[in-house]
Each structure stands twice: as structure tokens, then as C-alpha cells.
């Protein structure tokens, strides 16, 4: 068994839940852009459990061919899924999907007959990490725990993961500890990393406050030296924009996170707009991401502004 999961809080928690049941499985961190490459490294006929990785329609054809070479696939996710992708999934894929729940919650309930009930708090960590802690399933779990304690533990986990960044070995160690139901505060060095991460975030917030720019209804910042999702929130807030965007320039591309607090669907917008500029994008309605060639970034930003304005005009 291989477990392929996203490297954010929800993905790590979902992966830990799966690992607690399928102990000894090979864990691989991936994302929508890297998913095909991750699948290519798995032997034909293997079984896999995928958590929290959106199936991007633009990249789906190759991914689907890779699916067909594997044995059984359990695919647990909460990102928007097009009807085209859903209809073309091969018969060896068991899809567990809902837009209303975190992947951690979905994974816990999917494995409920096999998993230690006390692992439910790990599902809560993931749900809080993705701002999906108000669902009916999560509220039912919270009846058996002290909410304040779980939010404290989740805060440590989220902040520490921001400090760890792309270091997959450290993420794997955290996943394995969480799979044993060890609270984040008891995992070696996480509390120290969380405090350091908060201090760095404060510096980043002040940098965004002084350097964020605005194009139309988009507030944006490049290379904020901190978590892009949070930087996007601050870019929106400090520029009084409809959408906040924070990007990091890496290898000739801008990897970005976007956030909004108005009634537009960022996922749909990015799925439509990003490919026009040689990029990919998607995510959730209020929180999404994209990758665009750096030399097309300004044109992308203008097109994004035009699209958001056209959709949001009735709400302005």
C-alpha cells in the first residue's frame, strides 16, 4: 500500500489517519501538479490511498492512465471535482468526496470501522487547518473533546508546519507521530518551531502591510518570506481588495496562493484563467492556488482582475 497525500495540515492529518490503519505503508507527499509523477514511481498492480489532492482537469488524462495500471485506489478529497473527471474515473477508483468536509474528516469516517476512535482528534486538527471545523461530522466529534485544547494543539501543528516548509522528511516524522495519536505539543521541537514561526509571521505581516500593491480589485505581494496563504489574507486586508494574492518566484514561475472574502469562486476562475497564460490553478472557492510563468504574471494579474470584476459586479 502507498499513501499519497498533500503536505499541508489537512493532508498530513489525513495521511496520519490512513497510516494508523495501513501501518508500514509507503508515504509520498504530492500535489495536483506532481501527482502523475508520483503515480509513475509506483509499481503496476499496487494499491494506493490518496488524500487531499485535487484532480485537475487539465492534467487528468495522464493521471487517469496511471490509475488504470494500479490495483485498487481509494481517493479521498474535498476539492471541487468536475463532472467530466468524475465520469471518467476508472472502476478501480473508490471516490470519497465532499466539498463540505476536510479530507481528514472524510478519511476518519471512511475508516471508522478500522480506526482507533481516539484518532478522531487528529481529524479535528486537519479540519481546523482547512477552516472546515463547522461541519456536522466535526461537531459530532467535538462533543467528545475539549474544543479549546484541540485548537491549541492545532495551532502548534499549523505554525510548526509553516516553519518546516517543504522539508518532507520532517513532515513524514510528524505524520508518523500523529498516526500514534501523539499530540503536537508532545512531538519533539514542534512547540519551539511554532513560536519561531509566529515571530516570522509577524515580521511578514508587517512587510505585507508596507509593501503590498493593488491592481484593480486584486491586492498582491511577491516573495513575502512567509506562508503564502496567510500573506494573501494580509494582502487583501491591507489593500482593501476583493482578492488577496501572495506569490513566490521559483525557477522562472510564480507559485501563488489566493484568498477572498466575497462571493466569487476562485477555483473556477483559476481553472479558466491560468491555462491561458501557460499555468495551472485551482483549489477551493475562497482559497486557491496557481502556478504561472513569471514573464506572464502581470498579464495573468490583469486577466484575473477583469474576471473577478465581471463575476462580482452584482455584489459591488
Contact (CB, 8 A) for 156 and 189: no
Say how far apart CA 50 and CA 35 lie, in whole Å: 10
Share of the chain above pLDDT 90, in %: 90
pLDDT over threshold 90, residue 29: yes
Looking at residue 204, what is its pLDDT? 96
Looking at residue 33, what is its pLDDT? 87
Looking at residue 283, what is its pLDDT? 87
C-alpha separations of 11 from 53, 121, 220, 260, 293 in Å: 8, 15, 26, 22, 26
Say how far apart CA 120 and CA 237 lie, in whole Å: 34
Share of the chain above pLDDT 70, in %: 99
pTM above 0.75, yes or no: yes
Looking at residue 58, what is its pLDDT? 79
Q: What is the mean pLDDT of residues 167-182?
A: 97
- In whole angstroms, how large is the CA radius of gyration of the chain? 19
pLDDT tens, 184-201? 999 989 999 999 999 999
Contact (CB, 8 A) for 211 and 204: no
Buried b (16+ CB within 10 A) or exposed e, 176-194: bbbbeebbbeebeebeebb
Looking at residue 316, what is its pLDDT? 47
Contact (CB, 8 A) for 275 and 249: no
pLDDT tens, 89-132? 999 999 999 999 999 999 999 999 999 999 999 999 999 999 99
| Domain range summary for the chain, segments of one domain joined by + | 2-188, 207-315
What does the mean pLDDT of the chain come to?
95
207: number of CA atoms within 13 Å, CB side? 18
pLDDT tens, 36-61? 999 999 998 899 999 999 998 878 99
* Cell numbers linked to 304: 484575473
168: number of CA atoms within 13 Å, CB side? 10
The CATH number of domain 2-188, selected from 1.20.1050, 3.90.1640, 2.60.40, 1.10.110: 3.90.1640
Instruction: Please provide residue 76's backbone torsions phi and psi, each rounded to the nearest 5 degrees.
Output: -110, 120
Q: Is 252 exposed, middle or buried (0-12, 13-18, 19+ CB in 10 A)?
A: exposed
Looking at residue 314, what is its pLDDT? 52
pLDDT tens, 266-312? 999 999 999 999 999 988 899 999 999 999 999 999 999 999 999 87
Of 18, 5, 22, residue with least CA distance to 78: 5
Residue 158: pLDDT band by 50, 70, 90 thresholds?
A: very high
Looking at residue 149, what is its pLDDT? 97
207-315: CATH topology: Diaminopimelate Epimerase; Chain A, domain 1 (3.10.310)
Of 14, 66, 20, residue with least CA distance to 45: 66
Pairing of strands 243-250, 218-222: parallel
Looking at residue 315, what is its pLDDT? 52
pLDDT tens, 216-258? 999 999 999 989 999 999 999 999 999 999 999 999 999 999 9
Amino acid at each position: 500500500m502507498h499513501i499519497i497525500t498533500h503536505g499541508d495540515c489537512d493532508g498530513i492529518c489525513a495521511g496520519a489517519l490512513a497510516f494508523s490503519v495501513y501501518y508500514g505503508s509507503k508515504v509520498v507527499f504530492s500535489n495536483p501538479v506532481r501527482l502523475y509523477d508520483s503515480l509513475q514511481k509506483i509499481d503496476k498492480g499496487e494499491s494506493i490511498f490518496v488524500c487531499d489532492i485535487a484532480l485537475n482537469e487539465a492534467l487528468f488524462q495522464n493521471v487517469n492512465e496511471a490509475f488504470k495500471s494500479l490495483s485498487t485506489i481509494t481517493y479521498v478529497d474535498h476539492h471541487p471535482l468536475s463532472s467530466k473527471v468524475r465520469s471518467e474515473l476508472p472502476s478501480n477508483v473508490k471516490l470519497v468526496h465532499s466539498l463540505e468536509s476536510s479530507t481528514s474528516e472524510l478519511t476518519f469516517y471512511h475508516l471508522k470501522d478500522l480506526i482507533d476512535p481516539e484518532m478522531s482528534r487528529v481529524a479535528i486538527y486537519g479540519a481546523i487547518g482547512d477552516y472546515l471545523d463547522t461541519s456536522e461530522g466535526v461537531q459530532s466529534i467535538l462533543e467528545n473533546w475539549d474544543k479549546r485544547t484541540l485548537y491549541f494543539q492545532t495551532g502548534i501543528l499549523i505554525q510548526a508546519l509553516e516553519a518546516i516548509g517543504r522539508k518532507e522528511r520532517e513532515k513524514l516524522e510528524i505524520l508518523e507521530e500523529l498516526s500514534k495519536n501523539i499530540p503536537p505539543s508532545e512531538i519533539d521541537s514542534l512547540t519551539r518551531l511554532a513560536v519561531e514561526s509566529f515571530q516570522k509571521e509577524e515580521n511578514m505581516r508587517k512587510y505585507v502591510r508596507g509593501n503590498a500593491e493593488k491592481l484593480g480589485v486584486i491586492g498582491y505581494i511577491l516573495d513575502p518570506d512567509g506562508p503564502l496563504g496567510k500573506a494573501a489574507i494580509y494582502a487583501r486586508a491591507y489593500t482593501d481588495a476583493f482578492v488577496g494574492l501572495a506569490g513566490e518566484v521559483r525557477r522562472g514561475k510564480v507559485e501563488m496562493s489566493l484568498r477572498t472574502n466575497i462571493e466569487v469562486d476562485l477555483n473556477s476562475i483559476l481553472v479558466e484563467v491560468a491555462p491561458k497564460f501557460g499555468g495551472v490553478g485551482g483549489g477551493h472557492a475562497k482559497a486557491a492556488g496557481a502556478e504561472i510563468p513569471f514573464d506572464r504574471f502581470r498579464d495573468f494579474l490583469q486577466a484575473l482582475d477583469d474576471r473577478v470584476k465581471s463575476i462580482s459586479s452584482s455584489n459591488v
